[in-house]
């Protein structure tokens, strides 16, 4: 991840990030959770109340639209070998 100056930020294990990827009709939240770098994450699913408690306990930062787009761009590179390629 890069900072506002365009330079890479140092890995900070105290930073926690959440990127909501889906809100299901059954009340469950699908989200990516990462520590230190938004691009390296685990996919989790929790009921809404548990999600809110999880976020509070971990003092997470919700990704901005730009940060989420960068994560999605990176996801495409890993999934398809280069961004924007779907097959």
Name residues whose C-beta falls within 8 Å of residue 32's C-beta, 6 or more positions apart in sequence: 17, 18, 19, 21, 38, 41, 42, 43, 44, 71
Distance CA 5, CA 44 (A): 32
Separation of alpha carbons 70 and 75, rounded Å? 9
Phi, psi of 49 (to 5 degrees): -65, -40
Q: Report pLDDT digits (tens) over 7-59.
A: 666 888 899 999 999 999 999 999 999 999 998 899 999 999 999 999 999 99
pLDDT (tens digit per residue) in 63-73: 999 999 988 88
């Amino acid at each position: 991840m890069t900072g506002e100056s365009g330079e890479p930020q140092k890995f900070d294990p105290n930073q926690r990030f959440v990127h909501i990827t889906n809100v299901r009709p059954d009340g469950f939240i699908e989200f990516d959770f990462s520590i230190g770098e938004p691009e390296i994450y685990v996919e989790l699913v929790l009921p809404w109340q548990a999600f809110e408690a999880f976020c509070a306990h971990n003092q997470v930062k919700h990704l901005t639209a730009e940060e989420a787009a960068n994560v999605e761009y990176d996801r495409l590179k890993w999934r398809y070998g280069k961004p924007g390629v779907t097959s």
